[in-house]
Amino acid sequence: MNIQGKWSLVTGASSGIGEQFAIQLAKQGSHLVLVARSKNKLDDLAAELERSYNIKVEVIAMDLTEASAPRELFQQCQLLKLEIELLVNNAGFATHGMFEQISGQRQHEEIMLNVAAVVNMTHLFLPDMLRRSSGTVINVSSTAGFQPLPYMAVYGATKAFVLSFTDALWWENRDRGVQFFALCPGSTDTDFFTVVGTDEASVGKKATPQQVVETALRSLAKKKIYTIPGSQNYLGAQLSRFVTRKLSLRIVGNMLRPK
């Protein structure tokens, strides 16, 4: 993947894994479209990256939980005449607790961001990549995508969707010049758990966003379909292959049970 002088679009770019994607891609000479709700954070990051790496950065502040947002974002890129070579669907969040006690509106927004936005963004930007026979789509899933998560039921289901969706599109496009790749991190040292509102959702040692993104880009260069950064995370993701479904649910449920 040669992205020097080409445009990459990163959602959820204001912090954590998204911010680190922006930094690592800028180091490779990619121009950037940075997307998140927080314009001030994006502006600060854009200024730093332009100054440090002599690249162009476009900032688009947008809430991707809104149904119309992906198309509005795509149209803005068209107006700016930007050809997106690399799309990183990173934006997402989780909820934690008993399903019926969590705000229905909040869980709806979780589905819109984690699932609908990923599907719609991919559907909008993929045709141009196919016309050029060149492009890459990175979808950020999670180790949560490998088994159901009691007390994080919607989050686990959304990340399972992202992983399945990405695998399927990898197969459809494997001979068409467009690469699909799923990044499946475990617990990572980001604002994720602050947004969730609890640290009980953190399992195992937290990786840094830099470690996660560096692993992702190395795996992508090796033409892998997906990667799980960290050996402990990889083993944990295989749990359901070696124990019964009920036992897997018991183990994960005990880990994530609200205090």
d(CA 114, CA 157): 10
Q: Of 78-82, 91-95, 236-240, which gets the smallest average pLDDT? A: 236-240
pLDDT in tens, 138-165: 999 999 999 999 999 999 999 999 999 9
Segment 201-209 shows an average pLDDT of: 74
Return the percentage of the chain with pLDDT > 90, whole number: 84
Provide the pLDDT for residue 111: 98
Task: Quickly state the pLDDT bin for 237 (edges 50, 70, 90).
Answer: confident
Burial 19-34 (b: 16+ CB within 10 A, else e): bbbbbbbbebebbbbb
Predicted confidence (pLDDT) at residue 51 exceeds the cutoff of 90: yes
Q: Which CATH code fits 7-256?
A: 3.40.50.720
Catalytic residue IDs: 155
Q: Are 244 and 150 in contact (CB under 8 A)?
A: no
Q: Are 244 and 184 in contact (CB under 8 A)?
A: no
Task: Quickly state the pLDDT bin for 251 (edges 50, 70, 90).
Answer: very high
Predicted confidence (pLDDT) at residue 20 exceeds the cutoff of 80: yes
DSSP-based three-state secondary structure for 91: coil
Q: Which pTM value belongs to this model?
A: 0.92
Q: Of 193-202, 227-236, 249-258, which gets the smallest average pLDDT? A: 193-202
Segment 113-130 shows an average pLDDT of: 98
Segment 238-249 shows an average pLDDT of: 87
Residues facing residue 32 across a β-bridge? 8, 57
d(CA 186, CA 182): 13
- Contacts by residues 213-222 (CB-CB < 8 Å, ≥ 24 positions apart): 213/17, 213/20, 213/21, 213/24, 214/24, 216/21, 216/138, 216/181, 216/183, 217/24, 219/181, 220/1, 220/136, 220/138, 220/179, 220/181, 221/1
Predicted confidence (pLDDT) at residue 189 exceeds the cutoff of 60: yes
Provide the pLDDT for residue 175: 97
Predicted confidence (pLDDT) at residue 202 exceeds the cutoff of 60: no
Task: Quickly state the pLDDT bin for 259 (edges 50, 70, 90).
Answer: confident
Predicted confidence (pLDDT) at residue 197 exceeds the cutoff of 70: no
Segment 195-204 shows an average pLDDT of: 60
Task: Quickly state the pLDDT bin for 9 (edges 50, 70, 90).
Answer: very high
